[in-house]
Amino acid sequence: MTGEKKRVEVCYSPSQWHLYKNNYEIAVVIDVLRATSAICTAVENGVTIVPVSSVEEAKDYQNKGYIAAAERDGQIVEGFDMGNSPVSYKDPELKGKTVVLTTTNGTTAINIAREKETVVIGSLNNLDSLCKWLKEQDKNILLLGSGWKDKFNLEDTICAGAIADELIESQKFFAEEDSTIAAKFIYRSAKENIFSFLKASSHRKRLRNLNLNEDVKYCLTPNNLTVVPILKGDEIVAVNLEVEKA
Amino acid sequence: MTGEKKRVEVCYSPSQWHLYKNNYEIAVVIDVLRATSAICTAVENGVTIVPVSSVEEAKDYQNKGYIAAAERDGQIVEGFDMGNSPVSYKDPELKGKTVVLTTTNGTTAINIAREKETVVIGSLNNLDSLCKWLKEQDKNILLLGSGWKDKFNLEDTICAGAIADELIESQKFFAEEDSTIAAKFIYRSAKENIFSFLKASSHRKRLRNLNLNEDVKYCLTPNNLTVVPILKGDEIVAVNLEVEKA
C-alpha cells in the first residue's frame, strides 16, 4: 500500500460511463437482478463465463458447439437452453465447462468496462469476498451499475453503495461524487431488509410478473458465495484467492 | 381533470433525457445551485429571463445591448456583470427588464427540455406554488435535474423528490421509475435539514470554496418565493397565477 487513500465512486448505468470512467484502474460491474449474481454463482461452481453483448454473438458461439445462454427482458431467448437464472448455473453438469452468456444489461456493461486494466464482477452474493479483495488492491475503483436499459436502478445502486460504504469505512478509500454519497445513503437505509426495500422497484415488479421471485430472493441474499470473478481476456474466471486464504 | 392518474418521474441529468423524455407533456427544469433558484427570484422580481446555452450567445446579446449574465464553474464569466447569484436578481433596478442568462448546467437543461409542450422552472424556493400549479394541469410531468456537467447531483434530486412526493401524495399522480423512488426517498430523509444533509455534496463544497455559502442557504430555503416561471418562446416569464389566487 502507498499509504495514500484511493478513490471509489459509483456510476449508475452504462449511459453515464463516459462521464465517470477516467482515472480508475479497476471497474466492478454490478447487475444484481440477475446477470452478475448468475455469473458469480457460475464461477463459484467452476463454470467459465464468456460475456457477449448481442444475441447474435451468443448464437454464433452456439453454432460452434458452445453452451450458450441468452436473456432479454427477463426471459430466456428462444433457441437457448439457459438465461440468467443463478440457480441454473449450480448444475453439477456445468462444472468445468464454459458458458457464453448475453443478458439485457449486465453483459453489455461488462463489455463497456473492458477498457479498464481490471474488471471484476460484483453482486450482493459475493459482497464480503469482493470488498476484501478490493481493499487489498490499492487501486482506484469505479463501481458500474448495469441499470435497466441504461437507466438508474435501485438494486445495483444498493449493491454499489454497500461496496463503497465498506471500502470508505476501511479508511483506505474516499469518495467525492454525489452519486456515491447517494448510493451509500440508500444502501444504509435498505440494508436491514433489502427485499422489502425493493418491493416498489421496477425490476422486482418485472421479475415478479415472470414468477421469478425465488431468483430475486437468491440475488438479494448477501454473502451466500465467496468467489471474486475477474475478466481475463474473453473469459470470466475466479480470481486467485491466495491473498484471502492467507 | 380526466380522473385518470397522470405520471410524474425524475430524470437525474440532461445526459439521461433521451432515455426518459417520451410521453410527458410538461418538463420541470431544476438547478437548485443556483440557476433555477436565480431564475425564480428574477421572475418573481418582474425580470424576464432569456436562457441561452453558450457564453458566445450571451455575448452576442450583450453586444446588441441586452443585460447579459454568465456563470461557469460557479463564477461570473469575465466580461459579464452578473452570474447566477439569486440575490443579484432582486435588484429593483432590474424590475421590468430582460436578462440573457447562461450557466454551467441549468440553461443547457432548459434548452434540452424545449421540445416539450410546456417547460416550467423549479427550485426549492418556489416548491409549494409549483406543486400547486402542476397538480392543476392534469398532464404527465418529467422532472429534469440539471446535474453537474451531466452527472447526478444531490440537491436537484432532493428538489425533484420533493415535487414527486407532493404530487404522488395528492393521489393524482403515480411513478414507476426507480429514479423517482430513490429521489422521493432521498428527499424524505433530507427534508428536516437539507442544508446539513448536503454538507458532503460536491457542489456545496465547490460553492463553499467560492465563499458562496449565503447563496447556498438561500437556494436551500423552501418556499421563500411564490412564482411559477414558464418558458414562452425564448423568454421565461411568470405563469398566469389566476388559478392559484382563486
CB contact under 8 A, A16 and B16: yes
Angle in degrees, 0-180, between the axes of helices B202-209 and B154-169, rounded to the nearest 10: 130
Could you tell me if A178 and B153 are in contact, meaning their C-beta atoms sit under 8 angstroms apart?
A: yes
Taking only the tens place, the pLDDT of each residue in B55-86 is 999 999 999 999 999 999 989 999 998 999 99
CB within 8 Å of B137: residues ≥ 6 apart: B25, B26, B118
Terminal C-alpha separation, chain B: 17
The pLDDT-based confidence of B142 (bands split at 50, 70, 90) is: very high
CB contact under 8 A, A152 and B179: yes
Look at residue A245 in the predicted model and tell me its pLDDT. 44
pLDDT at B206 over 90: no
The residue with greater pLDDT, B45 or B210, is: B45
Q: What is the ipTM of this complex?
A: 0.92
Residue in B149, B185, B201 nearest the CB of A181? B201
Look at residue B2 in the predicted model and tell me its pLDDT. 56
- A148 and chain B in contact, CB less than 8 A: yes
CATH architecture under which domain B6-235 falls:
Alpha-Beta Complex (3.90)
Look at residue B157 in the predicted model and tell me its pLDDT. 97
Contacts of A182 in chain B (CB under 8 A): 152, 154, 157, 182, 186
Look at residue B212 in the predicted model and tell me its pLDDT. 85
| Chain A residues 49-88 within an 8 A CB cutoff of chain B | none
The shortest C-alpha distance from A38 to chain B (Å) reads 22
The residue with greater pLDDT, B123 or B149, is: B123
Query: Which residues partner with A30 through β-bridges?
Result: A122, A145
Bin B59: left if φ > 0, else alpha if -120 < ψ < 50, else beta.
alpha
Q: What is the pTM of this model?
A: 0.93
CB contact under 8 A, A151 and B203: no
The shortest C-alpha distance from B223 to chain A (Å) reads 24
Residue in B153, B185, B189 nearest the CB of A178? B153
Q: Which CATH superfamily is domain A7-231 in?
A: ComB-like (3.90.1560.10)
C-alpha to C-alpha distance for A145 and A30, rounded to whole angstroms: 5
pLDDT along chain A (246 residues), means of 10: 86 97 97 97 97 97 97 95 95 97 95 96 98 97 95 96 98 96 94 86 77 90 97 94 44
Could you tell me if A160 and A142 are in contact, meaning their C-beta atoms sit under 8 angstroms apart?
A: no
Cell of A237: 474466471
- A174 and chain B in contact, CB less than 8 A: no
Residue in A16, A19, A181 nearest the CB of B200? A181
C-alpha to C-alpha distance for B216 and B57, rounded to whole angstroms: 27
The pLDDT-based confidence of B205 (bands split at 50, 70, 90) is: confident
Look at residue A210 in the predicted model and tell me its pLDDT. 78
Taking only the tens place, the pLDDT of each residue in A108-163 is 999 999 999 999 999 999 999 999 999 999 999 999 999 998 999 999 999 999 99
- B154 and chain A in contact, CB less than 8 A: yes
The pLDDT-based confidence of B137 (bands split at 50, 70, 90) is: very high
Q: Measure the CA dihedral B230/B235/B240/B244, to 10°.
A: 30
Look at residue A130 in the predicted model and tell me its pLDDT. 98
Average pLDDT over residues B133-155: 96
Taking only the tens place, the pLDDT of each residue in B89-105 is 999 999 999 999 999 99
Mutate to test the interface with B, among A11, A19, A152 (most CBs of B within 10 A): A152
pLDDT at B21 over 50: yes
CA-nearest residue to B148 within chain A is: A178
Alpha helices in B85-239, H assignment, sequence order: 106-113, 127-135, 154-169, 178-190, 194-197, 202-209, 213-219
The pLDDT-based confidence of B211 (bands split at 50, 70, 90) is: confident
Mutate to test the interface with A, among B178, B180, B208 (most CBs of A within 10 A): B178
Mutate to test the interface with A, among B10, B32, B142, B152 (most CBs of A within 10 A): B152
- A180 and chain B in contact, CB less than 8 A: no
pLDDT at B31 over 70: yes
SS3 B122: strand
